[in-house]
């Protein structure tokens, strides 16, 4: 009788551990995918920012040329 109780307890404990370990594994996988997605978004923002820097430099160069022309015209007047 005690052997049956011990076996049932062992079986229940083993099944419980298997179920919870599987849930834990799935949770770890879901969180890993969420981290990878977040990191991809960060890299995307870095790429967008680095793509905008040359446009900003060209804009500043254009305004510098315009400002130079205005300054020369003002000093001649």
What DSSP assignment string belongs to 1-28?
-HHHHHHHHHHHHHHHHHHHHHHHHHHH
Domain count of the chain? 1
Q: What token pair was written down for 32?
A: 């890993």
Segment 37-42 mean pLDDT: 98
For 7, which DSSP code?
A: H
Domain that holds residue 64: 1-76
> What pLDDT band is residue 56 in, cutting at 50, 70 and 90?
very high
* pTM for this entry: 0.53
């Amino acid at each position: 009788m005690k052997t049956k109780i011990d076996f049932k307890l062992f079986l229940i404990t083993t099944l419980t551990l298997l179920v919870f370990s599987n849930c834990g594994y799935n949770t770890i996988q879901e969180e890993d995918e969420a981290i990878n997605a977040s990191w991809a978004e960060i890299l995307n923002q870095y790429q967008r920012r680095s793509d905008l820097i040359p446009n900003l430099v060209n804009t500043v160069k254009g305004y510098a040329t315009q400002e130079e022309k205005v300054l020369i015209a003002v000093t001649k007047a």
